[in-house]
Structure 1
Amino acid sequence: MIRWLSAGLFVCAIAVAAFGYGVLAHKDDLFPVPLMREVQRDLRALVVNDLALDTVRHAAPVETLLPDRLAPGLLAISGADTDFHPVVRVVDRKGAVVQRWRPDWFALFDDIAFVPEARRPKAAPNAYPHGLAVLPDGGIVLNFEHLATAAYDACGGLRWALPNLGHHSVHVTETGEIWVAAEVYHDADPVPYANHRAPLRAWTAQRISADGQVLETIDIIALLERLGLRGLLHLSTQMQRETEVTGDTLHLNDVETFPEGLASGIFTPGDLMLSLRNINTVLVLDRETGAVLFQSTGQVLRHHDPDFVAGDRISVFDNNNTLPAREPVPASRVVEIDARTGALTEVLSGAPGAAAGGEPFFTDIMGSHQRLANGNILVASGAEGRLLEFLADGRLAWRYSNRISEDRNGWIYDALLLPPDMDAGFFEEARAACGG
Structure 2
Amino acid sequence: MNTVQKLAVAYLACVAMLALGFAVGEYKIFPYHYIVQLRDFVTWEPPAATSETSTQKKLLSQLGFADALFVYDSKIPVAITELARPLVLPDAGTARENPQVYIRPGQQAGYRAVFGAMDFEQSFWGGVLIGPAGDVVHSWKLSTEHLPQNTKPDRAKNMYGLALLPDGSVIYVMGEEGGGIVRVDACGSIVWNLEGLYHHTVSMTADNAFFWTWEGVHTATFPRLQKVDATTGAVVQSIDMKDVMLENDSVHLFDIRQNALTLKYVYDASHANDIDELSVSQASQFPAFSAGDLLLSYRNLNLVFVLDPQTLQIKWWRVGAANRQHDPDWENGAITTFSNNMSGAREGHSDIVRIDPDTLQHEIIVDGSEYSMFSIINARQNLTGYGTRMITSSTQGWVLELDDSGELVFTFINTYNAERRTTLHLSEAYRLEPGFFSHQFWEECKP
Shorter chain as normaliser: what TM range?
0.7 to 0.9
For 2:341 and 2:132, the matched residues in 1 are separated by 29
Are the structure 2 counterparts of residues 230 and 431 from structure 1 closer, same or farther at C-alpha, using a change threshold of 3 Å? Answer: same
The equivalent residue for 1:428 is 442
Alignment of 1:342 onto 2:360: yes
**For residues 139-150 of structure 1, what are the structure 2 equivalents within 5 Å?**
139-146=169-176, 147-150=179-182
Among 378, 383, 388, the residue aligned to 2:395: 383
Q: Does structure 1 retain, via aligned residues, the 8 Å contact 2:272–2:297?
A: yes
The equivalent residue for 2:236 is 215
Are the structure 2 counterparts of residues 127 and 65 from structure 1 closer, same or farther at C-alpha, using a change threshold of 3 Å? Answer: closer
The aligned amino acid for 2:294 is L
Q: Does structure 2 retain, via aligned residues, the 8 Å contact 1:167–1:182?
A: yes
Q: Does structure 2 retain, via aligned residues, the 8 Å contact 1:185–1:202?
A: no
Q: Does structure 2 retain, via aligned residues, the 8 Å contact 1:170–1:178?
A: no
Are the structure 2 counterparts of residues 63 and 87 from structure 1 closer, same or farther at C-alpha, using a change threshold of 3 Å? Answer: closer
Size of the alignment, in residue pairs? 384
**For residues 28-427 of structure 1, what are the structure 2 equivalents within 5 Å?**
28=26, 37-43=36-42, 47=46, 50-51=67-68, 52-56=70-74, 57=76, 58-59=81-82, 60=84, 61-64=99-102, 66-68=104-106, 70=107, 72-82=109-119, 85-92=124-131, 96-107=135-146, 109=147, 111-112=148-149, 120-121=151-152, 123-146=153-176, 147-185=179-217, 200=220, 202-209=222-229, 210-228=231-249, 231-237=252-258, 239-245=259-265, 247-262=267-282, 263-264=284-285, 265-310=287-332, 312-322=333-343, 330-351=348-369, 354=370, 359-406=371-418, 407=420, 408-422=422-436, 426-427=440-441
SS at structure 1 position matched to 2:160:
strand
For 2:158 and 2:193, the matched residues in 1 are separated by 15
The aligned amino acid for 1:420 is P
Q: Which moved more, 1:134-143 or 1:301-310?
A: 134-143
Q: How many angstroms does 1:151 deviate by?
A: 0.6
For 2:444 and 2:226, the matched residues in 1 are separated by 28
The aligned amino acid for 1:136 is P
Structure 2 unaligned residues grouped into runs of 5+: 1-14, 48-60, 62-66, 85-98
Q: How many angstroms does 1:166 deviate by?
A: 1.8
Q: Does structure 1 retain, via aligned residues, the 8 Å contact 2:213–2:225?
A: yes
Are the structure 2 counterparts of residues 168 and 329 from structure 1 closer, same or farther at C-alpha, using a change threshold of 3 Å? Answer: closer
The aligned amino acid for 1:428 is W
Question: Could you report, residue by residue, the CA deviation over 1:60-84 in whole angstroms, capped at 9, with x for unpaired residues?
Answer: 443537433x373222222112367
Q: Does structure 2 retain, via aligned residues, the 8 Å contact 1:179–1:255?
A: no
TM-score normalised by the chain length of structure 2: 0.76
Q: Does structure 2 retain, via aligned residues, the 8 Å contact 1:82–1:404?
A: no
Structure 1 unaligned residues grouped into runs of 5+: 1-16, 187-198
Q: Which moved more, 1:404-413 or 1:149-158?
A: 404-413
The aligned amino acid for 1:369 is Q
SS at structure 1 position matched to 2:395:
helix
The equivalent residue for 1:195 is none
For 1:140 and 1:234, the matched residues in 2 are separated by 36
Are the structure 2 counterparts of residues 257 and 156 from structure 1 closer, same or farther at C-alpha, using a change threshold of 3 Å? Answer: same
SS at structure 2 position matched to 1:228:
coil
Are the structure 2 counterparts of residues 222 and 376 from structure 1 closer, same or farther at C-alpha, using a change threshold of 3 Å? Answer: same
Q: How many angstroms does 1:236 deviate by?
A: 2.4
Q: Does structure 1 retain, via aligned residues, the 8 Å contact 2:382–2:389?
A: yes
Question: Could you report, residue by residue, the CA deviation over 1:93-129 in whole angstroms, capped at 9, with x for unpaired residues?
Answer: 676322212122112x3x32xx6xxxx21x2212442
Q: Does structure 1 retain, via aligned residues, the 8 Å contact 2:168–2:437?
A: no
Are the structure 2 counterparts of residues 97 and 81 from structure 1 closer, same or farther at C-alpha, using a change threshold of 3 Å? Answer: same
For 2:298 and 2:347, the matched residues in 1 are separated by 25
